[in-house]
Amino acid sequence: MNKKILLALLVLAGFRTNAQEPQLNVNSKITNVTVFMQGAQVQRQSDQVDVPQGVSLLVFSGLSSSIETQSLQAKGEGNFTILSVGKQRNFLLEKKKSEQKVALQNKVDEYEDKIKKLNNEIAVYKAEEEMLMKNQKVTGDYVTYDLVKLKAALDFQKQRLTDTKNKQTALAKEIDDLRKEMGKLAMQAAEVDGKPIGNSSDVVVKVSAKVATKGKFTLSYLVKNANWYPSYDIRAIDVTSPIQLVYKANVSQNSGEDWKGVKLTLSSGNPSNNNEKPTLPTYSLGYLSAGYSFFNPVTATANIVRGRIVDASDNSPLVGVSVRVKNSSIGAATDGDGNYSIQLPAGNNQLEFNYVGYDRQELAAYSGQLNVRLNPSVNTLNEVVVAGYRSKENLTSALEGKVAGTNVKIRGASSISSVPLEVKSMEKPTNVTFEIKTAYTILSDGKYAAVDIGNYDFKADYEYYAIPKVTPDAFLTAKITDLNEVNLISGEASIFFEGTYLGKSLLDVQNSDTLTISLGVDKNVSIKREKQKGFTERQFIGSSQKDTRHFIIDVKNKKSQAINITIEDQVPVSTNSDITVERQEISKAKFDETSGKLTWQLLLQPNEQKKLDLKYQVKYPKNRPINME
């Protein structure tokens, strides 16, 4: 019994000690942010703090509610010791509204005041109407009346009733119009500020000082609701000019904290990935009847996946949903109608769908269409949407860290959200970082802001490419080499040729330092593949028969300059020893024995025309048909 009393006294003494520890509210601001593919490392710097003698608690209020607790770190400059750092929820601190949200709210308040005044006017007219109706009786047993006066009284009553009714109708219409405008303002306010945040976080730093002193503190922590993904604009003016590659980062954050005037760093790392090295289990071979299963290879998927993402509760489209290829840098976001389009790399069809206030989904894309219904999360945080901006005054004229063989240019600042910034690229052992030298601002409202990382000119080898067996069109391609001289990350690229948008392509830099871009069809290069009927033969010899196929490929350059063109065709490949294929004419094409592919590489002068012969013979058993062309 005595032990229990002693323990209770010790606990009580501990509570009293904690209660006596002074609490100091600390002002701080965000100075540096490193944005990962998923998540962001935020660094805060405090003002100078007067630290009292003894143990005290320093409270940093109003921080993001999505802080990863295990990532919290605190450093200090001064004659004191940091004992601990922790996080606690703050349910009393209201979310600070943005200036635009305040302006919209003020407008709503103004309309509400007008509606109140109009309702008051309607009440006055209704009271007058009731008074007129009550005073309609003008005759009685002891009342004498003048017909002229009676007519005048009736005319007055009729006119006043008409006026009051018309005024009430006009005022009701004016109120209805104001309510419609208020509805529009409410929708705009929701777009600006998203769903209201329920609470924020306080970070409490416990310090001990032998004497009263001064100091500064730096906090760093990871927030989940932030991301970026790379995208590219690839522009070709003509076949004699270099390829211009504009390297962009699409940055979004909805952590509940505005990043104002911060030093921004982009990293290709992802703290949410599993960093444990893999292990190779034993490959046990056995009979299927004993429970051993077949080996399942990766299923090939469509290159482009499109779809629409909606709210599962009401089927309304969700705007700005993050769509990512799992374990990659390739990403996209839904448009105003909830639609998205994303290119998949070979061997990876897993897509991740993230949206604040909704449960995360991970789905496999087995076709070119994947529609998604997201369920609202039970623990809804603030649904914010993010816009980034910076001023034009501090534009720089070049990028730091130029690489050999590339020229860096600055685009015109026609769009504030995509102006070039001074960027330093650094390749680290496990990731690539881009340090943006100019202070940047990204508000916590969820929209993606385009930040230019670099603008490069690459020498390109232009070549035409055609497979006349598939299509008679000649496609202009541009081959860019030495991509490894620039720290590119795989992502989608928008292709422009001669000022025309041609569509999207996937810039996959994982397995090659060479990029081949299709710039579209050129109708000035004519290609025809015609089967020669007079040379199609079928012979029967004993138990075998022979089929001969003969094609003429006619290529003509109608352009005013010489072109290089690669043409591909094929001869069949036998899969059975009873079937033999004999090449009779291939016009000096390069031949691949394994695939049967034929490749001609031609240089055609202006208005030059060339004809290619393709002739082969197939021998096979007479009574066993084959799939001849």
Among residues 73, 74, 21, 62, the alpha carbon closest in space to that of 216 is found at 74
Output the CA–CA distances (angstroms, integers) from residue 364 to 214, 344, 361, in the order listed. 56, 11, 10
**The pLDDT of residue 258 is above 60:** yes
Q: What is the distance between the terminal CA atoms of the chain, rounded to a whole angstrom?
A: 98
Question: Can you give the pLDDT at residue 280?
Answer: 67
**8-29 confidence digits (pLDDT tens):** 554 444 444 444 678 889 999 9
Query: Which distant-in-sequence residues (6+ apart) come within 8 Å of 524 by Cβ?
Result: 557, 558, 559
Per-residue DSSP letter, 400: S
**The pLDDT of residue 416 is above 60:** no
Output the CA–CA distances (angstroms, integers) from residue 439 to 412, 425, 444, 462, in the order listed. 19, 16, 16, 40
**The pLDDT of residue 589 is above 90:** yes
Question: Can you give the pLDDT at residue 141?
Answer: 55
Q: Which of 14-18, 396-400, 601-605 has the highest mean pLDDT?
A: 601-605
**The pLDDT of residue 580 is above 60:** yes
Burial class (CB in 10 A: 0-12, 13-18, 19+), 497: buried
**The pLDDT of residue 187 is above 60:** yes
Burial class (CB in 10 A: 0-12, 13-18, 19+), 178: middle
What angle in degrees, to the nearest 10, is found between the helix axes of 147-193 and 99-134? 160
CA angle 39/44/45 to nearest 5° reads: 165
Q: How many residues does the chain have?
A: 629
Question: Can you give the pLDDT at residue 394?
Answer: 34
Instruction: Name the residue with higher pLDDT: 430 or 393.
Output: 430
Q: Which of 14-23, 412-421, 574-583 has the highest mean pLDDT?
A: 574-583
With beta carbons less than 8 A apart as the criterion, state whether 381 and 198 touch: yes
Query: How many whole angstroms separate alpha carbon 175 and alpha carbon 196?
Result: 28
**The pLDDT of residue 212 is above 90:** yes
Q: Which of 106-115, 329-338, 406-415, 463-472 has the highest mean pLDDT?
A: 463-472
Mean pLDDT of the 179-184 span: 81
Q: What is the DSSP string of 139-181?
A: --TT----HHHHHHHHHHHHHHHHHHHHHHHHHHHHHHHHHHH
Can you read off the two tokens belonging to residue 319? 């705007």
**The pLDDT of residue 482 is above 80:** no
**The pLDDT of residue 142 is above 70:** no
| Residue-range domain boundaries for the chain | 18-95+202-224, 99-193, 525-621
**309-349 confidence digits (pLDDT tens):** 999 888 888 888 889 888 888 888 888 788 998 888 877 88
Tell me the average pLDDT of the chain.
Answer: 78
Among residues 227, 228, 231, the alpha carbon closest in space to that of 246 is found at 231
Query: How many whole angstroms separate alpha carbon 607 and alpha carbon 610?
Result: 10
Q: Give me the CATH topology for the region 525-621.
A: Immunoglobulin-like (2.60.40)
pTM equals: 0.60
Mean pLDDT of the 580-597 span: 92
Q: Which of 207-211, 341-345, 410-414 has the highest mean pLDDT?
A: 207-211
Which residue is listed with tokens 């601002």?
441
**538-572 confidence digits (pLDDT tens):** 666 667 888 888 999 999 999 888 999 999 999 99
In 37-114, the DSSP E strands lie at 38-46, 49-51, 54-63, 67-77, 81-90
Which is it for the CA torsion 465, 471, 474, 478, positive or negative? negative
Can you read off the two tokens belonging to residue 82? 């940091």
Can you read off the two tokens belonging to residue 300? 């090939």
Can you read off the two tokens belonging to residue 6? 């002693």
Query: How many whole angstroms separate alpha carbon 67 and alpha carbon 80?
Result: 26
Burial class (CB in 10 A: 0-12, 13-18, 19+), 460: buried
Query: How many whole angstroms separate alpha carbon 604 and alpha carbon 560?
Result: 11
**The pLDDT of residue 422 is above 80:** no
Residue 127, helix vs strand vs coil: helix
Mean pLDDT of the 600-610 span: 94
Query: How many whole angstroms separate alpha carbon 74 and alpha carbon 597?
Result: 63
Question: Can you give the pLDDT at residue 428?
Answer: 57
Question: Can you give the pLDDT at residue 438?
Answer: 82
Among residues 386, 446, 388, 447, the alpha carbon closest in space to that of 417 is found at 388
**The pLDDT of residue 95 is above 60:** no
Can you read off the two tokens belonging to residue 533? 């009927």
Which is it for the CA torsion 191, 195, 199, 205, positive or negative? negative
Query: Which distant-in-sequence residues (6+ apart) come within 8 Å of 577 by Cβ?
Result: none
Instruction: Give start and end residues of each alpha helix (H) in 36-146.
Output: 99-134
Query: How many whole angstroms separate alpha carbon 62 and alpha carbon 602?
Result: 68
Query: How many whole angstroms separate alpha carbon 116 and alpha carbon 175?
Result: 9
Question: Can you give the pLDDT at residue 196?
Answer: 41
Which residue is listed with tokens 């990731």?
431
User: 190 falls in which pLDDT band (50, 70, 90)?
Assistant: low
Lowest mean pLDDT among 88-97, 521-530, 615-624: 88-97
Query: How many whole angstroms separate alpha carbon 133 and alpha carbon 335?
Result: 58
